Structure 1
Amino acid sequence: MSFAGATILLVEDDASLSRLLAEELEADGYTVRVAGSMADARARLAEHVPDLVVSDLRLPDGDGLQILGLLQHRAGHVPFVVITAFGTVDQAVEALKAGADDFLTKPLSTDHLRLKIRRLLAQADISRQLAEMRGQGDRTLGLLGDSPVMDRLRTEIRQVSRSHAAVLINGESGTGKELVARAIHRQSERRDRPFVAVNCAGIPTELMESEFFGHEAGAFTGARHARKGLFAEANGGTLLLDEMGEMPLPLQAKLLRVLQEGRIKPVGADQEEAVDVRILAATHVDLQRAVSEGDFREDLYYRLETLALRVPPLRDRSDDVGLLAMHFLRDASRRQGRGFMKLSEVASRLLLDYPFPGNVRELASAMERAVTFCEGDVILPEHLPDRIRKRQAGVQMASDAPLTEEISLARLPTLEQVQQDHVSRVMKAVDGNKRRAAQILGINRRTLYRWLENRGVSRND
């Protein structure tokens, strides 16, 4: 993700260090404004609120935390990095409690600082997107995500909302099929009428007909009073039949008749009643396969699938994971009475690397757990579920061939050969860009230069 053009206020009284950092950040495409004192910083902030601030802790006429306080008063939360040559644990804790996002000590690794800046700008961008989406409900339809598959889904929701026909919503468990159904209802002409959702898998088979169509008093043992069914409750509005694939065949036949004629017959009644209900059917089951296996009526399937939507699994919209994680993190922290919380860089990377078989619901649960077990305001890897934290090691182990007596140990590469091969592949992947290669390898450029020179590669090669 590129944040070229973002404005950074650099507050540093050491002129040579200030010049070095400004050159490095400008080379990354940032617009850098420099201040050498508290007074300079105040003047810069009066002119323009930056996207991020990097400030020395000790300044000739004050300290960086005063700038942080001023910035919070004027603009709310702006990413803030404190740097100092006199770093202690107490100072770091004080800075973070005051609202700083990171605390770095001198001598400073410019590569490390640049990585921190990219991470903080990315988190700020996600926060901005969340704020925009909350203020633009009509545009997002209440469905977070800017990936192409979500844009396409929102378009399809708007299209089917214009119709009164039944809609089949397909998708794996946890993808948000009910959210899609509610979005269809809100966009339709029925938005001011009832929306009733029922999980077909949660109703005992012997009670289904009564639950859906109602019953008269005395219709069966225990039916002392007449009762309206779900269709009557949803009259004029929308009825979501979740887990549609669990509906028994006899009830499927009666549902098909409701779709065709718009009439229901309560259990024990002599007369039918007219109802005006739009049916939305959601399922994670392959209904076409269920038809071929005799578990679902073919005529009902074709009636439903005329307007069919597919809710994508989270693995098909991985670009949305960061945005969704921050959304669920904010929701969980608000429910638990916590303040502003954020994800550490490593925790973010673990979430992005995890396939989420449980989809969006699993991600929401992971964020709820993380907030519960986090004592501070930064979510670390240890706050995430074990299955997410340990997957990286598991993938690595699964990819390694087991060492058996049949494998010639002499053919295994040495550590030097493995290292050289990895560095070569990284250098090739970044077209020889040593700065980028050092970043990926997790070392500074000087270390990379020394490593290359020891193997006969000059800095200019």
Structure 2
Amino acid sequence: MNGQKLLIVEDDLGLQRQLRWAYDGYDVVGAHDRASAIDAVRAEEPAVVTLDLGLPPDPDGTSEGFATLAQILQLKPDTKVIVASGHGARESALNAIGAGAWDFYAKPIDIDALGLIVSRAFHVHALEAENRRLATPATTAFAGLITAAPEMLKVTRMIERVAAADVSVMLLGASGTGKEVLARGLHEASGRKGAFVAINCAAIPETLLESELFGHEKGAFTGAVKTIEGKIEQADGGTLFLDEIGDVPLSLQVKLLRFLQERVIERIGGRRAIAIDTRIVCATHRDIDAMVAAQSFREDLYYRLAEIVVRIPGLAERPGDAALLARHFLHRHAKAMGRPVTGLSADALAVIDGWGWAGNVRELENRMKRAVIMADGKLVTAADLDLESGGAPEPINLKAVREIADRKAIRHALARAEGNISNTAKLLGISRPTLYDLLKSYDLHA
């Protein structure tokens, strides 16, 4: 056997034995119904599954087969599922393809033809796994954002994909997660020639916010001594970033909705409609869905602003990033302030890894700036940081739980050791060959 796991889901035990014999070059596992198939997926994690749609208690129909397909893909989305198509059941097989199956085969079975499909499925599965490994660099910088976490890389890739599309984007995340950095990166990747203009809606009094957004004509109110363009107008041809959109009052939400619907504005005190080509990117740390439900935020405006929603993970959800960013901020502020600080002590790294970072990247940068000032020697210590030590989809089996823990520990150790394999192995208490095996097994990079 070559170690490639193949699950055969077939209620005809004679046919199942025939297929096991035909594919003895693979590590073959058999199942005869949905329950045994799901148990096998959890226990064996097969790369490829052949699935008969006609399973008990509905052997003459397809309901059990489709339910099994859905559960397999929910548990292990990268599985290549090949469905069986009986006489006259080609339509069901095509529907299964639409539901996520990789391919189908016709009954009665041609062993050689099915063998080619299975072989190709294993080949594609291996290629996709290799592509995922190669596509995940150790670190990346998108618009100045530094990360090694797959959770954040997924966000940056999504923003890069939607940048060129003419859609409004809503960024949801806690304070300090880098929403404005991502918004600016989206603008730069969009190709729009106008300016990037940002405004924090929570920082401006309600009485002034309308004028800030829409501008005013000379004489529109006391103190309006000249005509002023608003932020929407200043961003014509470019991007307007509305931070803390949840703080916009209902009365102003109506006017903002009209702009998004008609793409024209009127300055305060003005009577002329001005056509504007401004892309809106907004952000909030508030529960915008709850605000819509409570009618404190207009539902129609929400759907105009949230054509694409991007949820940004907090720093605590990005294992290894805190140490990477801490070093980045240390070098930046040490250089800016002319301080001789060059690195982080072991106890500083430990407390950085263990801290919850409720304020996210902004809190981390502030702490590092303080530490650079307070450090007596070349290394920032835990005392300089003034921190006390602090402390996903359902895994399909115990092995998956262990893998999650291993990945997290390895990513933390790699970040603390700055990618040095020997030091990473020492931190983890394992040998270099064992670490290399784990890196290869989990598709991680030093």
**For the superposition of Structure 1 and Structure 2, which TM-score range results when normalised by the shorter chain?**
0.5 to 0.7
Task: Quote how far apart the aligned CAs of 1:306 are.
Answer: 2.0
Q: What is the SS of the residue equivalent to 2:167?
A: coil
Give the structure 2 partner of residue 347 of structure 1. Answer: 348
Task: Quote how far apart the aligned CAs of 1:339 are.
Answer: 3.5
Q: What is the SS of the residue equivalent to 2:318?
A: helix
Find the partner of 1:391 among 371, 389, 392: 389
Task: Quote how far apart the aligned CAs of 1:340 are.
Answer: 5.0
Distance 1:440 1:241, change over 3 A: closer
CA distance in 2, matches of 1:209, 1:441: 56
Distance 1:214 1:362, change over 3 A: same
Distance 1:343 1:273, change over 3 A: same
Q: Deviations for 1:346-396, whole angstroms, at most 9, x for unmatched residues?
A: 1101110111111111111110011010121111121112xx2x235xx6x
CA distance in 2, matches of 1:267, 1:158: 36
CA distance in 1, matches of 2:218, 2:341: 55
CA distance in 2, matches of 1:154, 1:365: 24
CA distance in 2, matches of 1:440, 1:241: 44
Any gaps of 5 or more consecutive residues in structure 1?
1-131, 396-438, 443-461
Conserved in 2, the CA contact under 8 Å of 1:249 and 1:296? yes
CA distance in 2, matches of 1:260, 1:189: 23
Q: Deviations for 1:203-251, whole angstroms, at most 9, x for unmatched residues?
A: 1111111111111111111111111111111111000000100000111
Q: Deviations for 1:73-123, whole angstroms, at most 9, x for unmatched residues?
A: xxxxxxxxxxxxxxxxxxxxxxxxxxxxxxxxxxxxxxxxxxxxxxxxxxx
State the AA in 2 paired with 1:360. Answer: V
Give the structure 1 partner of residue 165 of structure 2. Answer: 163
Give the structure 2 partner of residue 184 of structure 1. Answer: 186
TM-score norm. by structure 2 comes to 0.56
Give the structure 1 partner of residue 368 of structure 2. Answer: 367
CA distance in 2, matches of 1:251, 1:288: 19
Task: Quote how far apart the aligned CAs of 1:193 are.
Answer: 2.1
Q: Deviations for 1:48-86, whole angstroms, at most 9, x for unmatched residues?
A: xxxxxxxxxxxxxxxxxxxxxxxxxxxxxxxxxxxxxxx
CA distance in 1, matches of 2:347, 2:340: 21
Give the structure 2 partner of residue 10 of structure 1. Answer: none
Task: Quote how far apart the aligned CAs of 1:142 are.
Answer: 2.4
Give the structure 1 partner of residue 144 of structure 2. Answer: 142
Distance 1:440 1:322, change over 3 A: closer
CA distance in 1, matches of 2:167, 2:258: 14
Equivalent positions of 1:62-461 (< 5 A) are 140-190=142-192, 192-339=193-340, 341-385=342-386, 388=387, 390-392=388-390
CA distance in 1, matches of 2:381, 2:220: 59
Range with bigger deviation, 274-283 or 204-213: 204-213
CA distance in 2, matches of 1:170, 1:441: 35
State the AA in 1 paired with 2:158. Answer: E
CA distance in 1, matches of 2:370, 2:231: 35
Conserved in 2, the CA contact under 8 Å of 1:141 and 1:154? no
Distance 1:332 1:285, change over 3 A: same
CA distance in 2, matches of 1:440, 1:324: 20
CA distance in 1, matches of 2:359, 2:333: 18
CA distance in 2, matches of 1:242, 1:381: 34
Q: How many residues align?
A: 259
Conserved in 1, the CA contact under 8 Å of 2:175 and 2:285? yes
Task: Quote how far apart the aligned CAs of 1:440 are.
Answer: 8.5
CA distance in 2, matches of 1:251, 1:303: 15
Q: What is the SS of the residue equivalent to 1:198?
A: strand
Matched residues, percent identical? 43
Q: Deviations for 1:168-224, whole angstroms, at most 9, x for unmatched residues?
A: 00000111100110110010021x420000000111111111111111111111111
Conserved in 1, the CA contact under 8 Å of 2:341 and 2:375? no
Task: Quote how far apart the aligned CAs of 1:318 are.
Answer: 2.0
Task: Quote how far apart the aligned CAs of 1:310 are.
Answer: 1.0
Any gaps of 5 or more consecutive residues in structure 2?
1-137, 392-425, 430-446
TM-score norm. by structure 1 comes to 0.54
CA distance in 1, matches of 2:427, 2:344: 20
Conserved in 2, the CA contact under 8 Å of 1:243 and 1:282? yes
CA distance in 2, matches of 1:167, 1:381: 39
Distance 1:381 1:257, change over 3 A: same
Distance 1:441 1:251, change over 3 A: closer
Conserved in 2, the CA contact under 8 Å of 1:287 and 1:296? yes
Greater C-alpha Rg: 1
Conserved in 1, the CA contact under 8 Å of 2:195 and 2:239? yes
Conserved in 2, the CA contact under 8 Å of 1:214 and 1:229? yes
Distance 1:273 1:340, change over 3 A: same
Q: What is the SS of the residue equivalent to 2:307?
A: helix
Equivalent positions of 1:8-87 (< 5 A) are none
Q: What is the SS of the residue equivalent to 2:320?
A: helix
Conserved in 1, the CA contact under 8 Å of 2:340 and 2:377? no
Q: What is the SS of the residue equivalent to 1:202?
A: coil
Give the structure 1 partner of residue 436 of structure 2. Answer: none
State the AA in 2 paired with 1:391. Answer: S
Give the structure 2 partner of residue 70 of structure 1. Answer: none
